[in-house]
Structure 1
Amino acid sequence: MTYFPTIVYKAPGQPNGKIILATAAASWDDGAQALSSDNGHSFASALQHVVRDNGNIKFLAYNNAPPGVANVKTKSNSKGVIILATNADSAAWIVHTVPGFPAAKTGYSWPVAENARGHLLICLTILESQINAIAASLLLVQPLIHYNDIPKTETAAMPYFNKLAEGKIPTLPPFTSRQTIRTQNGAAPVTVHIYKIYKKVIVNVLKKTIKVWSRRDSILKEDCRGSQRHIRLIKSPAAIDGHNTNLEADITNWAVSDPGNIFCHIDKPYFKSNQRTSNGSLFNEIAAQVEDCPLTMKSHNIFFYLLFNRGNVLNVLNN
Structure 2
Amino acid sequence: MRIYIFLSAFWVILHNCLQIHAANCTCRTATDDTEWFLLFKPVGLLKAKIISPANAGWANDGANMNTDSGHALVQTLAEWMGPILDDMTALGYSNTPPKSTITSQTTSSKGILMFGNETTDGFWLLHTFERAFPNSVAWSWPSKFTSEGHMALCLSISEDNVPLIVPALQYQEVVIYFGQVSSEKATEFADLTSLIDGSLPTITPPLWNQQTITTLNSALSTVVYSKTSSSRLEMYGSFLAKVMVVNMRIWAVTDNTLQTTCGGKIGFVKVVKSPVTIDGTQNDRSKDKSQWAVIDDKPVFCFTTNGYSTKQRTVAGSATCITQQVVSNLFATSAANFIPCPYS
Question: Which of 95, 98, 101 does residue 129 from structure 2 map onto?
Answer: 98
Give me the whole-angstrom Cα distance separating, in 1, the residues matched to 2:246 and 2:40: 24
Specify which of 282, 286, 289 is matched with residue 244 of structure 1: 282
The reply to whether residue 282 of structure 1 matches residue 336 of structure 2 is no
Q: Secondary structure at the match of 1:33?
A: coil
SS in 1 for 2:167: helix
Amino acid of the structure 1 residue aligned with 2:110: K
Conserved? CA contact 1:133–1:160, under 8 Å: no
Are the equivalent residues in 2 in contact too, given 1:93–1:124 (CA < 8 A)? yes
> Structure 2 unaligned runs (5+)?
1-23, 29-35, 228-232, 317-326
Equivalent of 1:143 in 152, 165, 174: 174
Q: Which amino acid aligns with 1:283?
A: F
Given the alignment of the two structures, is residue 87 of structure 1 paired with residue 118 of structure 2, yes or no? Answer: yes
Which residue, 254, 264, 268 being the options, matches 2:292? 254
Change (3 A) 1:254 1:205: same
For normalisation by structure 2, the TM-score amounts to 0.80
Could you list the per-position Cα deviations for residues 171-216 of structure 1 after superposition, in whole angstroms to 9, with x for gaps in the alignment? Answer: 2335341111121113633111111642243223433310010111
CA 147–174 in structure 1, closer or farther in 2 if over 3 Å, else same: farther
Work out whether 1:133 is the aligned partner of 2:164. yes
- Given that 2:241 and 2:267 are in contact with CA atoms closer than 8 Å, whether structure 1 keeps it comes out as yes
User: What does residue 247 of structure 2 align with?
Assistant: 209
Supply the distance in 2 between the matched residues of 1:204 and 1:76 (Cα, whole angstroms). Answer: 21
AA in 2 matched with 1:99: E
Q: Is 1:199 paired with 2:230?
A: no
Of 64, 67, 71, the residue aligned with 2:102 is 71
Aligned to 1:193, the other structure's residue is in SS state strand
Tell me how far apart the structure 1 counterparts of residues 299 and 108 of structure 2 sit (CA, whole Å). Answer: 26
Distance (Å, rounded) in 1 between the aligned partners of 2:106 and 2:266: 34
Higher mean alpha-carbon deviation, 281-290 vs 145-154, is at 145-154
Computed over aligned residues only, the root mean square deviation of the Cα atoms, in angstroms, reads 2.0
Contact kept, 8 Å, 2:123 with 2:157, in 1: the verdict is yes
Aligned equivalent of 2:40, options 5, 9, 19: 9
Aligned mates of 2:240, 2:105 — CA distance in 1: 25
TM, length-normalised to structure 1: 0.86
* Letter of the structure 2 residue corresponding to residue 207 of structure 1: V
- Residue 182 of structure 1: aligned partner: 214
Aligned length: 295
Question: What's the offset of the Cα at 1:14?
Answer: 0.9
> 1:11-90 to 2 correspondence within 5 Å?
11-24=42-55, 26-53=56-83, 55=85, 57-90=88-121
Q: Secondary structure at the match of 2:111?
A: strand
1:74 offset after TM fit, Å?
4.7
After alignment, is 137-146 or 46-55 more displaced?
46-55
**Ranges in structure 1 where 5+ consecutive residues have no aligned partner:** 297-319
Partner SS, residue 27 of structure 1: coil
For residues 83 and 63 of structure 1, the distance between their equivalents in structure 2, rounded to whole angstroms, comes to 15
Letter in 1 for 2:63: Q
1:73-109 CA-to-partner distances (Å, cap 9, x unmatched) read: 4521111000002332111100000011111111112
| CA pair 185-257 structure 1, distance change in 2 beyond 3 A | same
Choose 70-79 or 43-52, whichever is displaced more.
70-79
Distance 2:182 2:95 in 1: 23
Would the alpha carbon gap of residues 234 and 274 (structure 1) be closer, same or farther in structure 2, given more than 3 Å must change?
same
Query: Aligned equivalents of 1:193 and 1:50: distance in 2?
Result: 26
Paired residues of 2:106 and 2:314 also in contact (CA < 8 A):
no
Query: What residue is the counterpart of 2:339 in the other structure?
Result: 291
Counterpart residue type for residue 116 of structure 2: A
CA contact (8 A) 1:117 1:249 kept: yes
Q: What is the deviation of 1:159?
A: 4.0
Q: Percent identity?
A: 25
CA distance in 2, matches of 1:248, 1:186: 37
Name the structure where helix makes up a greater proportion of residues. 2
One-letter amino acid matched to 2:152: L
Equivalence for 1:173: 205
Shift of residue 232, structure 1, vs aligned partner: 0.4
The separation in 1 between residues aligned to 2:265 and 2:181, in whole angstroms, is 50
3-state SS of 2:314 partner: coil
